[in-house]
A and B are shown apart, each in its own frame.
Chain A
Amino acid sequence: MLSSELQNYVDVIKQHALEYGLDFFEVIFEVIDFEEMNMLASYGGFPVRYPHWRFGMEYERISKSYSYGLHRIYEMVINNDPCYAYLLKGNTDIDQKLVIAHVYGHSDFFKNNFCFSGTNRKMLDEMANHAVRIRRYIDKYGYGEVESFIDACLSIEDLIDIHSTFINRRSGKKSVLEEDESERKTSPKLRSPSEYLEDYINPADFIEWQIGKAEEEKARKRNFPESPERDLLLFLLENAPLPEWQRDVLSMVREESYYYAPQIQTKIMNEGWASYWHSKLLTERVVTDKEVIDYADHHSGTLATSPGAINPYKLGVELFRDIEDRWNKGKFGKDYEECDDIEEKRSWDKKLGLGREKIFEVRRLYSDITFIDEFLTEDFCREHGLFTYAYNRSTSMYEIESRDFKKIKEKLLFLLTNCGRPIIEVVDGNYMNRGEIYLVHRHEGVDLKLDWAKDVLNQIGKIWTRPVHLETVVQGKVKVFTADGEVKEKEVK
């Protein structure tokens, strides 16, 4: 239950948000203390999760960091319909107002951004459901057994097809009908009208030929996947020889991955959008005179930058503001791009007033990659002091590498591609006709972290129960690693 004071803030802010045109899921606010906040954060925001040590590790990290005063979590929102949001007990009123406004921004984003269109909006129930199922397996098969299988699944949790977050995905369950169908087709005999015609209609060599053809067909089918598959989890669900409970666990891990993926893909936009709205709502409508200083303090804390990092809140909100400004003034399109007069460009103002409309369109139709690709301009980079940094082996430091616009954009896009993770594809599920998996790392100029890659291969091997190969590039040389109990490596080219 919210105090009547907080409830009042919520009502007021919600009303303002609606007037500005935000369109959000209903938000249910709860006030919790910092311990509960730390715990919920460890569970990715969900109050009920299946048992696993990694949540404990996260808790250790978060609560230690909290007790050293390194950071605190002010708010948390769950993308669900209705949205759930948690406020930290003991925060000042102005903090709570800011958070409430911020949360409405997130809720609007969750509801409207296209990346979330395929998201399960009843995830709160679904997570609880997963917890129940996994606890049941633990009772039946033992904690250690289930835990070590979950460990293996989590190692590959990010090997999904990030582009299919918003399309209908194959569920990974084999249809029983399909299997029957293919069985029937393999019967080689034609129907003969009577016994004595049998030899004419189904001569021995014809039967043999038919059988051969069926075998070939089968062999061709065994050459799967037909095209490289990025969703390794799906591939394993469909093809790995797993007992039913393991298949179920794997499918749960996959479902949770697809649930979180859009949030990772839109981190900059989502935080930017929420920050845009909390500052707009508060400064224009909500903040009282005596709260201004505290508001400014908190707000600037949220948007603070440090040299070695990009703050997604800051980058996101500044980009949205930049877009709004440019579309208000008409600073886009062919005429503007082709104008070389710096002074004219600077004072360019066609008084179009399209800014607000544009940013609403952007929040609907873009993800971080397309957002950066389309709206990060050279002027913006210069104005906000962006740069790329790289590791310098001789000083063991990360150092500023360049302030070149192209390089900055390229690097940002690279870091956002596939959520910053390497792209790995299953190219053969029956390698050398031995039922082994052949994976290929689409090398984009950066090598894999090898020790981890080997560990992951071993984990895949555990699930697949047959050898697993990974082709990748190590310091310019193509190598294949094979996990077969242990990991061996060989150079191929």
Chain B
Amino acid sequence: MILKIEQDWGRFREIVRGKIRENLRKYIVHSELIGKKGKDLVSIPVPQIEIPHFVHSPQKTGGVGQGEGEEGTPVAIGETDGDRHAGNQPGAHILEVELTLDEIARILGEELELPNVEPRGRRNIKSYTGRYTNIHTTGPESLKHLKRTFKEALKRQIIAGSYDPENPVIIPTSEDKRYKSREPVEEPAFNAAVIYMMDVSGSMGSEQKEIVRVESFWIDTWLKHQYKGVDTRYIVHDAVAHEVDRDVFFRIRESGGTIISSAYKLCRKIIDEHYPPDEWNIYIFHFSDGDNWSRDDTHECIEILEEAFLPSVNLFCYGQVESPYGSGQFYYDLEDNLGQKENLVLSKIPDKEAIYDSIKQFLGKGR
């Protein structure tokens, strides 16, 4: 019997993708998703794919159960929604759909109408190794890896409780089959360096940093979908700038003044030392609430942008995260002085809701 379900299953998954697309704005702001990243799979709860019926409001219905307990003993966790009947039916199932980050990136790209980036830099040649070093779930029968196949089947049977040590019969099904495969090792075709800079002066609160965290997650997701190899660096600054790792980047809390040029100088140094622009596609994102120490410093920033960054990087994005204290002057200074530059993108991000459009502004140029 061939699995006729394939067609209906495929159609269902198509609908799921449609739903995700529809609700993308919601998922993007939903930072839980970001934390959930296990390997490259993210699990997205998609509750709305159901055929609606006339049913009783589940929480008013209650039911009949069986077992020990006094009045008031809890028997089940309440669900905010869902279908709870006589208790003789399986519980409500909120659908959790697993998607790879790559798939999400593709949906993101389609929905935000992001053009694919046009990389600069050198293309490297792909190389293949000649040895069968890898295991795949599909492949020709002649390359079947028997040991691994039976191992998988055994695992499954033990989980399902159908393994009987007295009579150790193991029957692999097609899901268990494992094949040897020869993995082509690809040298990165294009390399990209992404440098995030963030203002951590006193006026940047946790809400502002959350916005930066969410936005940078999606930017990363997209750029990793576009490039084979992505190097990411993080710089924080108040009156002075430091390079930090990702964790520190989002947790650090400083106070003090703001000298933006300090970060730009550090960024320039990193590029000079590690990322020659003729070999690397360079992306710089700077987030701040837009209150710089002095106009002189702002002039210095504009100079660095004009001389060092804009001629050689793919994209320089400035995201202004509004805070109750900031005047947001920096945005206007950049706009007035460099507004015409093609690879400079300015975006205001007043709240989480604005992240969606901001991503579109940043990445919508396809550079």
Residues of A within 8 A of B (CB): 32-36, 39, 42-43, 47-48, 51-57, 59-61, 66-69, 72, 89-92, 147, 151, 154-159, 267-268, 305-312, 314-315, 384-393, 395-403, 408, 411-412, 415-416, 420-422, 424, 441, 446-453, 455-456, 459
Q: How many inter-chain residue pairs (CB < 8 Å) link A and B?
A: 239
Nearest CB on A from B243, distance (A)? 43
CB proximity of B199 to chain A, nearest CB, Å: 40
Residue contact B58 to A449, C-beta cutoff 8 Å: yes
Given contacts A397-B77, A422-B55, A448-B55, contact A310 B63 (CB under 8 A): yes
Residue numbers in A under 8 Å from B76 (CB-CB): 307-308, 389, 397-398
Restricting to B40-97, which residues have a CB under 8 Å from any CB of A?
49, 51-78, 85-88, 93, 95
Are A411 and B4 in contact (CB-based, < 8 A)? no
Q: Say whether B12 faces chain A, with CB atoms less than 8 Å apart.
A: yes
Q: Once the chains are docked, how many angstroms separate the CA of A181 from the CA of B85?
A: 48
- Given A90-B162, A307-B68, A421-B53, also A400-B8 (CB < 8 A): no
CA distance A180 to B162 in the complex (A): 66
Q: In the bound complex, how far is the Cα of B49 from the Cα of A420, in angstroms?
A: 22
Q: Which chain B residues lie closer than 8 Å to A403 at the CB level?
A: 71
Cβ contacts under 8 Å, A60 to chain B: 9, 12-13, 95
Q: Which residues of A contact B86 (CB under 8 A)?
A: 310, 412, 415-416, 420
Check B85 against A415 for contact (C-beta < 8 Å).
Answer: yes
Q: Which of A56, A61, A305 is B11 in contact with, Cβ under 8 Å? A: A56
Which positions in B face A, CB cutoff 8 Å? 1, 3-5, 7-13, 15, 49, 51-78, 85-88, 93, 95, 156-157, 159-162, 164, 167, 169, 171, 173-175
Contact between B1 and A307, CB atoms less than 8 A apart: no
B57 and A310 form a contact (CB under 8 A): no
A310 to B62, CA, bound (A): 12
Query: Which residues from chain A contact B95 at a C-beta distance below 8 Å?
Result: 57, 60-61
If A411-B62, A415-B64, A415-B85 touch, whether A90 touches B171 (CB-CB below 8 Å) is yes
User: Can you spell out 22 A-B residue pairs with CB atoms less than 8 angstroms apart?
Assistant: A33-B173, A47-B4, A55-B9, A56-B5, A57-B12, A59-B12, A69-B161, A90-B162, A308-B63, A314-B66, A385-B68, A392-B78, A398-B76, A420-B85, A422-B55, A441-B54, A446-B60, A447-B60, A448-B55, A448-B56, A449-B56, A459-B52
Assess the B55–A387 pair: CB atoms within 8 A: no
What are the residues of chain A within 8 A of B56 when measuring CB–CB?
420-422, 446-449
| Contact B12 A306, beta carbon cutoff 8 Å | no
Cβ-closest chain B residue relative to A314: B66
A156–B157 alpha-carbon span in the complex (Å):
40
In the complex, what residue of chain A is closest to B174 when comparing beta carbons? Answer: A35
Q: Per DSSP, are chain B's interface residues mostly helix, strand or loop, or mixed?
A: loop
Contacts of A33 in B (CB 8 A): 171, 173
Decide: A35 and B8 in contact? CB cutoff 8 A: no
Residues of B contacting A387 with CB < 8 Å? 64-67, 69
- By beta carbon, the residue of chain A nearest B8 is A56
Return chain B residues, CB-CB under 8 Å to A448: 54-57
Which residue of B13, B78, B171 is within 8 Å of A396 (Cβ)?
B78
Contact B53–A305 (Cβ < 8 Å): no
Q: Which residue of chain A has the shortest Cβ distance to B9 in the bound complex?
A: A56
**B residues within 8 A CB of A453?**
52, 54
**When chains A and B are docked, how far (Å) is the Cα of A66 from the Cα of B55?**
28
CA distance A159 to B53 in the complex (A): 9
Per the bound structure, the CA–CA distance linking A305 and B64 in Å amounts to 12
Interface centre among A36, A90, A156, by most chain B C-beta atoms within 10 angstroms, is A90
Q: Which of B1, B15, B65, B171 contacts A310 (CB 8 A)?
A: B65
Query: Is there an interface contact between A449 and B65, defined as CB atoms closer than 8 Å?
Result: no
Knowing A92-B164, A308-B65, A385-B67 are in contact, say whether A155-B52 is a contact too (CB < 8 A). yes
Q: Which 10 A-B pairs have CB atoms at the shortest separation, nearest pair first? A: A56-B12, A56-B8, A308-B76, A309-B87, A455-B52, A56-B9, A390-B62, A307-B67, A69-B159, A452-B52
- Pick the residue among A36, A54, A154, A308 that contacts B87 (CB under 8 A): A308
Residue of B nearest to A232 (CB): B54
Pick from A59, A66, A449: contact of B5, CB below 8 A.
A59
Cα distance A53–B86 when bound, in Å?
27
- Of all chain B residues, which has the CB nearest A388? B64
Q: Judging by beta carbons under 8 Å apart, are A311 and B55 in contact?
A: no
Question: Do B52 and A396 touch across chains, with their CB atoms under 8 A apart?
Answer: no
What 19 additional pairs, Cβ within 8 angstroms, besides A387-B69, A389-B76?
A34-B160, A48-B4, A52-B8, A56-B10, A56-B12, A56-B13, A57-B95, A60-B9, A69-B159, A309-B63, A310-B86, A395-B74, A396-B78, A398-B78, A399-B73, A400-B70, A408-B64, A448-B57, A449-B56
Known pairs A36-B3, A385-B66, A390-B62; A51 contacts B11 (CB<8 A): yes
Given A310-B88, A412-B64, A452-B53, answer yes or no on A391-B169 (Cβ-Cβ < 8 Å): no
Residues of B within 8 A of A401 (CB): 62, 71
